[in-house]
A and B are shown apart, each in its own frame.
Chain A
Amino acid sequence: MIFLSILILIVAKALISNNNLSPVLFPRITAIIFIYAGVLSLNTFYIQSIGSGIGIYSGLFHITSFSQFIEFFIYIIGSLILIAWPILSEKTIGSTVSSTPSIENLTSNKLLLLDFYKSNYFAEYSLIIIFSSLGASLLISSSDLISIYLSIELQSFGLYILATLFRDSESATSAGLKYFLLGGLSSCIILLGCGLIYSYTGLTNLDSIYSLISVSEFNNIIQGLSLGLTLIFIGFLFKIAAAPLHNWSPDVYDDSPTIVTTWLTIMPKISILFLLLEIYTQIGSNVYNTINITSLLSLLIGTIVGLAQTKIKRLLAYSTISHIGFILLALSINTEQSIDSLIFYIIQYTITNLNIFLIILGLSYIIKNSKLHYNNSFPVIQSVKDIKFISEFKGQFFLNPLLSLSLSICLFSMAGMPPLIGFFSKQFVLYSAMQSGYYFIAIVAILVSVVSASYYLKIIRVLHTSVENPELELNTNSKNSVYLPNDVNISNISNSNNLSFKNVNLLTNFHSFLISSLTLSILLFILKPSIILNITQVLSLSLFNF
């Protein structure tokens, strides 16, 4: 499905060069493709024989109900990210343009907008995203060393290009180059591990390697295999930026544009983590120490270094590292309960992180647009700039109350405040750690999450303190009527922005709908927790008992 749609989209992009099809439509089409593919992969649950897994393509890929669910999850999250693009159809452009009073404004506005659209980033972004998620879905279901390597390459090639996509900006190019070089290094390490395993066992199929390990008495084979496995795991940990190997991630995430960072922080990690889970549950004892040390280090480094950050995306990158530490802790324990908590943690973290990035995107559109409006007398859309520093959030609570409220809800959830979803995931991980006797690392994790709460609180404090800058205050006063929080929906706010500024707001209704529903799901998880919990429990049971 995905493969076919890649071909179709390429052909469509090549044929329609004379603006018959607006490039705006590409992300939407891709989102629909993703949803459809997700439903298809969910549909395979109805096939009876899938129970214990089917090997397809001469056993090189292995489809289980587990991998199918993860595929479904990846596709749905991917479609959500894609829908969040700043999309304007021709109609809204027309309406806003017609509502602007002066003619010069009208023409300049329209021209600049068209410039924004002519930039083909839309189409390219969605096309590369399809490639990358094809790699991700292959990676989850692969059960052979070669197919693992090929699909990780397919996935990460797409990501390197994604990071360089906005090639007009210097920082994005440097981020992409850095990502490419270090990602290539980690792929080399993975390949070295695969080579070592093959040279010691003569096998590439994971299933045969599992069975060889379980019966083998040659010490040589086991040793070489554990060396190779360690190298493979190190390569994968490099790719998900776990602690001793994390140095590239803050730079890359900070330098690439926010809309790309959303994809980079969320998607590749899901697939790699679930692949690690599948390997680890089978032959985990060989790399137990690696995972354990990595989880401890990433818990510590992610929080302590994160305290000193002033840029929002660097901070989020470090918080990602500390969350990876929690996930790896759950992975290293490797009981049914901990795997359950691992899956739940990943799902919860993905939702929360996605929501935070969506809100940051939305805020950045609003802030930058309004600042432009303050500076110039007529509205101009320049290339949309991202929020870089935390201090730019200052006083946003008084300007965009609902958006900043939901941002603070998400941050509280990440910090692990009790009624929110983030608390439960941390609690499950720690509970399973305590049950299996990991007292020390559990205490470290608790301390670390308390410390990390402080930097989330820092953002929230910045959000909710009023602005001291007198010039801006004047502006807020003058625009106070616009921003009054008398609307129920966030979409209403964005609409009112739209009307008052005569400015084309890049925030779509769906974007705000998405933010509100994700925030509600984070907030109201406690009322009906059984939906997600049942899924994760059944999945972890199926992983162990089949």
Chain B
Amino acid sequence: MTTFFVNILALGTLFSSVFAITSKNPVISIIFVIATFVQAAGYLIFIGVNFIGISYIVIYVGAIAVLFLFVIMMINIKLTDILETGNQYTKNLPLALAIGSLFTYVIFTIIPFNLNNVPALSLISESLINLNSLILNSNLISKDFISIIVNAYYNLSLSDINITDFTQIETLGYSLYTYGAIFLIILSVILLLAMLATIIISRSNK
């Protein structure tokens, strides 16, 4: 059942991100962006990455998207300009198709493609197996989503699953403040630069 939800959420994320790009009204596209982030957060929570999922909602939806909404309401864009640029998108459609298909081709030549890779297909086959087992009156085989993907390749899933047994914030905190303390410092320098830059760019000269 979780697999099904995860699939639905992933599909929804893709579609709403596409709609966010193509929709003509900026407010609606912002709402689609919010929808994308919420669905992505749900996806992450379903596959077991709770903390990151929740922080997606808190940071992206709570702060950034709302900020976008405010900015869009403030600056009052003319819709006709956007419509004109929207026409230009379709001009390059053949090029985009060619590049996209080439890229997918390269990806598929490198990543070996088999049916086990696609969760939607494996869901069907799995439900078939479940139906078999119903007839045979054996226990329902429940497979975790992650383990399907991981086991298709090789078994390194044990350590991953063990990590999720801890509180995730705890694990993150441990590694961030001991092993990766320098990352924290570099990140703080980047944030400092970002703050300084906004001040420099937006301040009036007088």
Contact = CB atoms under 8 A, between A and B. Distances in A.
Given A220-B153, A224-B111, A154 B181 contact: no
B194 A220 contact: no
Contacts of B83: none
The interface residues of chain B, by DSSP majority, are classed as helix
A61 B181 CA distance: 12
A165 B183 contact: no
Interface in A95-154: 118-120, 124, 127-128, 131, 134, 138, 146-147, 150-151, 153-154
A161 B200 contact: yes
Contacts of A150: 183, 186-187, 190
Contact of B201 (A10, A118, A161): A161
Contacts of A226: 110
Interface string B106-121: 1100111000000000
B22 to A, nearest CB: 19
Nearest to A61: B182
A6 B187 CA distance: 15
Contacts of B179: 58
Given A157-B190, A168-B205, A223-B111, A60 B182 contact: yes
B154 A128 contact: no
Contacts of B200: 124, 128, 161, 165
A131 B193 contact: yes
Nearest to A218: B154
Contacts of A470: none
B71 interface: no
A364 interface: no
A261 to B, nearest CB: 19
A60 B180 contact: yes
Contacts of A164: 201
A158 interface: yes
A168 B203 CA distance: 12
A146 B190 CA distance: 14
Interface in B167-206: 178-183, 186-187, 189-190, 192-194, 196-197, 200-201, 205
Nearest to B107: A227
Interface residues of B, number: 26
A154 B180 CA distance: 17
A150 B196 CA distance: 18
Given A146-B183, A150-B186, A128 B111 contact: no
Interface in A35-63: 57-58, 60-61
B156 interface: yes
A167 interface: yes
A60 B193 CA distance: 22
Interface string A57-88: 11011000000000000000000000000000
Contacts of A161: 193, 197, 200-201
A283 to B, nearest CB: 16
B200 to A, nearest CB: 5
Q: How large is the interface on A (under 10, 10 to 19, 20 to 34, 35 or more residues)?
A: 35 or more
A394 B187 CA distance: 49
Given A60-B183, A146-B180, A161-B201, A10 B156 contact: no
Contacts, number: 72
Contact of B182 (A134, A147, A218, A223): A147
B183 A154 contact: no
Given A161-B200, A220-B153, A223-B110, A147 B183 contact: yes
B32 to A, nearest CB: 20
A307 B110 CA distance: 40
Given A147-B183, A220-B112, A224-B111, A10 B189 contact: no
Contacts of A147: 182-183, 186
Contacts of A138: 186
A227 B205 CA distance: 48
Contacts of B183: 60, 146-147, 150
Contact of A154 (B110, B178, B193, B201): B193
A497 to B, nearest CB: 29
B105 to A, nearest CB: 13
Nearest to A124: B200
A546 interface: no
A3 interface: yes
Nearest to B197: A161
Interface in A159-199: 161, 164-165, 167-168
A157 B200 CA distance: 13
A138 B193 CA distance: 15
A19 B35 CA distance: 50
A335 B186 CA distance: 34
Contacts of A6: 189, 192
Contacts of A224: 110-111
A3 B197 contact: no
B173 to A, nearest CB: 16
B181 A131 contact: no
A309 B189 CA distance: 40
A58 to B, nearest CB: 5
Contacts of B189: 3, 6, 131, 134, 154
Nearest to A160: B197
A158 B190 CA distance: 9
B190 A153 contact: yes
B194 A58 contact: no
Contacts of B112: 220
Query: Which of B110, B111, B193 lies at the interface centre, i.e. has the most chain A CB atoms within 10 A of its CB?
Result: B193
Contact of A167 (B182, B186, B193, B201): B201
Interface string B150-173: 000110100000000000000000
A61 B183 CA distance: 11
A58 B178 CA distance: 9
Nearest to B112: A220
Interface string B13-43: 0000000000000000000000000000000
B153 A158 contact: no
B150 to A, nearest CB: 10
Nearest to A132: B193
B197 A128 contact: yes
Given A157-B193, A218-B154, A151 B201 contact: no
30 contacts: A3-B189, A57-B181, A57-B182, A58-B178, A58-B181, A58-B182, A60-B183, A118-B205, A127-B196, A128-B193, A128-B197, A128-B200, A131-B193, A131-B196, A150-B186, A150-B190, A151-B186, A154-B190, A154-B193, A158-B193, A161-B197, A161-B200, A161-B201, A164-B201, A165-B200, A168-B205, A202-B156, A224-B111, A226-B110, A227-B106
Given A58-B181, A150-B186, 9 more contacts: A3-B189, A6-B189, A58-B178, A127-B196, A146-B180, A150-B183, A202-B156, A220-B153, A224-B111
The 9 closest A-B pairs by CB, nearest first: A57-B182, A161-B197, A150-B186, A131-B193, A223-B110, A227-B110, A124-B200, A154-B190, A58-B179
